[in-house]
Amino acid sequence: MPTILEIYRHLGQEYCLDSWWPAQSPFEVAVGAFLTQNTNWHNVEKALANLREAEALDLALLADMPLAQLEQLIRPSGFFRQKAQRLQHFCRYVLDQHGGSLEDLLQRDLEQTRNELLTLSGIGPETADSILLYAGQRPSFVVDSYTRRFFGRLGLLTGTENYDDIRTLFMAEVNREVPLYQHYHALIVTHCKERCRKSPLCSACFFKDICDYATQAA
């Protein structure tokens, strides 16, 4: 079985792509991290487009915006009432505790900042790491459902690991470099959309000879 780093190299040879997370500013990344919960990126893009059109992608503006207005702007992302409350709470927290500076929040000690994010409503480990890696440009590996699916099928995960177990595994074996973490995450997402789908295309997968799932399914 190849190492986690060797798997990254195999993925990089197969897919030619840059790091993933299209956004125009760190704050937009943070907003997107809230909006992408329990939905797909296509719906997030619709909500972000609404916010841009309303010229509302501003931390202070979102903090003071009438909640009903914010709900309607982000409605395409689903669970819009819950997300509006959480997003507004986050904006007000950054205003109150960090003078409105997202950079001030995200450029402190990595684990301290992560723990601080995890105290906020609506921010779990995946959202916290997404904000750190993509908005803060901090080396905090993002573990998502694609990561669990792909590495579980390969046989590198048993299915009993919690989020932090998997994050620790990756961060111990892969150099703590922001571009590397971003690129690896993008490759995992792409591979799980192209081949390692919910109903996987094992016959077309270049990992089929070393994948536990593919071997058992053959």
User: What is the pLDDT at residue 126?
Assistant: 98
pLDDT band at 217 (very low <50, low <70, confident <90, very high): confident
Q: What is the mean pLDDT of residues 113-139?
A: 97
Given a cut of 90, whether residue 209 has pLDDT beyond it is: yes
Given a cut of 90, whether residue 15 has pLDDT beyond it is: yes
User: What is the pLDDT at residue 17?
Assistant: 83
User: What is the pLDDT at residue 98?
Assistant: 98
From its phi and psi, is residue 99 left (phi > 0), alpha (psi between -120 and 50) or beta? left
Q: What is the mean pLDDT of residues 96-102?
A: 98
% of the chain exceeding 70 in pLDDT: 99
User: What is the pLDDT at residue 104?
Assistant: 97
User: What is the pLDDT at residue 24?
Assistant: 80
Q: CA-CA distance, 84 to 1, in Å (whole number)?
A: 44
Please state, rounded to an integer, the average pLDDT across all residues of the chain: 95
More confident residue, 95 or 218: 95
Q: CA-CA distance, 53 to 41, in Å (whole number)?
A: 18
Given a cut of 90, whether residue 22 has pLDDT beyond it is: no
pLDDT band at 18 (very low <50, low <70, confident <90, very high): confident
Q: What is the mean pLDDT of residues 187-216?
A: 96
Does domain 26-135 correspond to CATH entry 3.40.190.10?
A: no
From its phi and psi, is residue 120 left (phi > 0), alpha (psi between -120 and 50) or beta? beta
Ordered by start, the domain boundaries in the chain are 4-19+143-213, 26-135
Stated pTM of the model: 0.95
Given a cut of 80, whether residue 218 has pLDDT beyond it is: no
User: What is the pLDDT at residue 143?
Assistant: 98
User: What is the pLDDT at residue 19?
Assistant: 64
The pair of structure tokens assigned to 77 is: 């992302």
Q: CA-CA distance, 196 to 217, in Å (whole number)?
A: 13
From its phi and psi, is residue 37 left (phi > 0), alpha (psi between -120 and 50) or beta? beta
CATH for 4-19+143-213, options being 3.40.1160.10, 2.30.40.10, 1.10.1670.10, 3.90.1200.10: 1.10.1670.10
Closest by CA to 133, choosing from 92, 181, 171, 94, is 181
Residue with tokens 């904006």: 91
Condensed to tens digits (0 to 9), the pLDDT of residues 154-164 reads: 999 999 999 99
User: What is the pLDDT at residue 20?
Assistant: 67
